[in-house]
Structures are given as C-alpha cells and as structure tokens.
Amino acid sequence: MLKPLRKAVMPVAGLGTRFLPATKTVAKEMLPVVDRPLIQYAVDEARAAGIEQFCFVTGRGKTAIVEQFDVAYELERTLEERGKARELAELRAQQLAPGSVITTRQQVPMGLGHAIWCARHFIQDEPFAILLPDDLMMCDVSCTKQLADAYKETGGNVVAIEEVPRERVNRYGVIDIAEDKGRLVSVKGLVEKPPVDQAPSNLTIIGRYVLMPEVIGHLAKMEKGAGGEIQLTDSMAKLIGTQPFHGVRYEGRRFDCGDKAGYLEAQVAFALARPDLAPAMKDILARYS
Ligand code: G1P
C-alpha cells in the first residue's frame, strides 16, 4: 500500500535579488500575477492535488506569506458590512484548515536541498510534494495533481519535466533517460545545471516534485554541488536504483516568474485566460504591437 500524499513543502526563503527594488520589502512570492500572489497559486495548485498540510520554508522578511493564509478578521467584517459577498466568498474559499500551515526557517541560504532538509521534522516518514512558487503553472489539471496521479501509478519519486532548447539545459536539473514511455519517463540519472555539451538530455526538471522521505538522509550529508550549494537534485539522484524514479511530461504551461520576462508573460497569459480581463488585455496588446 502506498502512503497517501498529504504534505507539501514550499521553499520561500530566497532573497529575490532579480526583482529588486520591489523585493527589498515585499517577499518575491507575494508579487501578484493579475490579482493573486504567486504563493497563492502554488497553494491552490497543491490543494487541488489533495494536499492538506503545508510547510513554508521561510527566512527574514517573509511574514506576509503566512499572513496571506490567516483569517483577516477585520477585513472580513468590513466586507460583510459593505455587502461585498463575492470578495468575501473568495477570501473564505482560500482559507486553509486551522493548524494546517507551519513554517520553518532556513537561516542561511545554502541551496534548495538545504531548504528541503530544513523541513525534515514536518516531512517525517511520509511522501511529500515540493512546489517552487517561482514556477507558475497554467494547467487544466493541477500540475501537482498530475504528479500525485503518477505517484499512485508508479510509486516512488516523481518529478515534472519538460523539454527545453539544448542551449538552456545548464539552468536546470537534467534527467538521464532510462526508458521514455511518452508521458512517463523512467530516470537513471540526474545532473544539476550541467554544461550544455555534457547534459544527458534536454529533458529538465521544473519546480514540482513528489519525493520519498528517504531523500532527507542524503540531504543530511550536506554535500555541496553545482554553484557550491546543497542541491536537491544530487540527493534525488542517490535514490535512483533503490526506489522508482520517474519524470512526468506534465500537460500545461510553465512561467518562470523568477525571471522578469517570464513574470511579464505570466501577467499577459493569466489576464488573457480571464473572461473579465481578456478584452482589455487584447486591446492593450494591440496598442503596443
Ligand atoms: C531549481 C532546481 C533545478 C530545477 C529548477 C526548476 O533551480 O535546482 O533542478 O530545474 O529549480 O525551476 P533554481 O531555479 O533554483 O536555480
């Protein structure tokens, strides 16, 4: 029997230097796309996959992320008094069950692997999802749900993957393919940010994972990898051969909101996907093209 997937870890300690000066006082995960902060999209996506428990790995200056999922009593009362039923219903729909959010701190920026290790007491001995909120997903079926479904099928570790042009593989974790079955790819190796000419494929990992708790034991060794950081990819690679490991070609689109151009594209795409905003956005685009 597979253990059910109930937990998600969201690393949110990054400084967001690429978005300064906005991120001097605002956590990058609180930057909005249309009218929702990035972290909200990630939480909604996880909930749509049946996730019930959330752990934010935070750092200094990130308290607004936790506030976002608290009950804003005064705000709700004011909305009630003013008869703003729609806004109130929307806020309430986004509330998480009491006690279902915890935070832990990554005091020093030592890499993604270190951030996940900081969540070890939350993870305990259960499978868990990881969502990197910088990667904003637009999918008919929640990307995390696509991974959760694959996990039910294959067991073990599952990561979302996509093809990128060869010259860009050095920005990502790259998979070495054991067998390509189409939507599912069984993985025989993983390399973090390889030089373009040494990459085993152009299939790269995006910021969505379902991992087995055993990865924590490997992370605990604190071995440094690419860029001198403790890389999640390196510890995931050590699970291969001892547990199933698959990539899933997810269905949907990814916007890299850690990058200015990706973030701007997300604004356009998400506005165009909204019936209330699409006409205005089309009009704007026509004026600037
Ligand atoms: C991280 C991971 C990398 C993955 C990427 C997806 O890199 O280390 O394996 O491909 O996220 O967004 P980062 O973007 O933090 O450098």
Mean pLDDT score across all residues of the chain: 95
Give me the residue label for tokens 């729909």. Answer: 93
From the alpha carbon of 232, which atom of ligand 1 is closest? 8
Q: Which of 47, 237, 56, 259 is nearest to 144 (CA)?
A: 47
Q: Atom 15, ligand 1: which residue's CA is nearest? A: 112
Q: Which of 31, 57, 46, 26 is nearest to 230 (CA)?
A: 57
How many angstroms is it from 171 CA to the middle of ligand 1?
7
Write the pLDDT tens digit of every residue in 51-102: 999 999 999 888 899 999 988 899 999 999 999 999 999 888 888 999 999 9
Which residues does ligand 1 sit against, CB inside 6 Å? 112, 132, 135, 172-173, 192, 204-207, 231-233
pLDDT at 211: 98
- C-alpha span between 220 and 120 (Å, rounded): 10
Confidence of residue 14 (pLDDT cuts 50, 70, 90): confident
Can you tell me the distance from the alpha carbon of 270 to that of 138, in angstroms, rounded to the nearest whole number? 8
In terms of Cβ atoms closer than 10 Å to its own Cβ (0-12, 13-18, 19+), residue 112 is buried
Q: List, for residues 163-208, the tens digit of each pLDDT value.
A: 999 999 999 999 999 999 999 999 999 999 999 999 999 999 999 9
Distance (Å) from CA 134 to ligand 1 centroid: 10
Q: Label residue 289 by pLDDT band (50, 70, 90).
A: confident
Q: For 256-286, how does the pLDDT look when each residue is reduced to its tens digit (9 = 90+)?
A: 999 999 999 999 999 999 999 999 999 999 9
d(CA 120, CA 139): 29
Q: Which atom of ligand 1 is nearest to the CA of 134?
A: 12
Is 1 a residue whose pLDDT tops 90? no
pTM above 0.85, yes or no: yes
| Residue 147 contacts residue 137 (beta carbons within 8 Å) | no
**Minimum-distance ligand 1 atom for the alpha carbon of 231:** 8
Distance 22 CA to ligand 1 centre (A): 22
Nearest to 28 by CA among 139, 135, 151, 129: 135
- Output the pLDDT for position 251: 98
- Placement of tokens 């051969």 in the chain: 241
pLDDT in tens, 221-266: 999 999 999 999 999 999 999 999 999 999 999 999 999 999 999 9
Mutation probe of ligand 1 site: the residue of 143, 201, 205 with most atoms within 8 A of C-beta = 205
DSSP string, 73-120: HHHHHHHHHTT-HHHHHHHHHTPPPTT-EEEEE--S---HHHHHHTTH
Given ligand 1 and candidates 112, 135, 157, 254, which is best to mutate, with the most ligand atoms within 8 Å of its CB? 112
> For position 21, what pLDDT does the model report?
94
What is the mean pLDDT of the segment spanning 114-142? Answer: 98
Helical H segments across the chain, by residue range: 38-47, 63-67, 73-81, 85-93, 112-117, 120-123, 143-154, 215-219, 232-237, 260-272, 278-288
CA of 192 to the centre of ligand 1 (A): 8
The full set of domain ranges for the chain reads 7-258
131 closest CA partner among 262, 29, 245: 29
What is the DSSP track for 16-29? -GGGTTGGGTS-GG
Of 90 and 119, the structure prediction assigns the larger pLDDT to: 119
Place of tokens 């599952």: 158
Ligand 1: nearest atom to the Cα of 14 = 15
Q: Return the percentage of the chain with pLDDT > 90, whole number.
A: 91
173 alpha carbon – ligand 1 mean position (Å):
6
Q: How far is the CA of 258 from the centre of ligand 1 (A)?
A: 10
CATH 3.40.50.10320 fits 7-258, yes or no: no
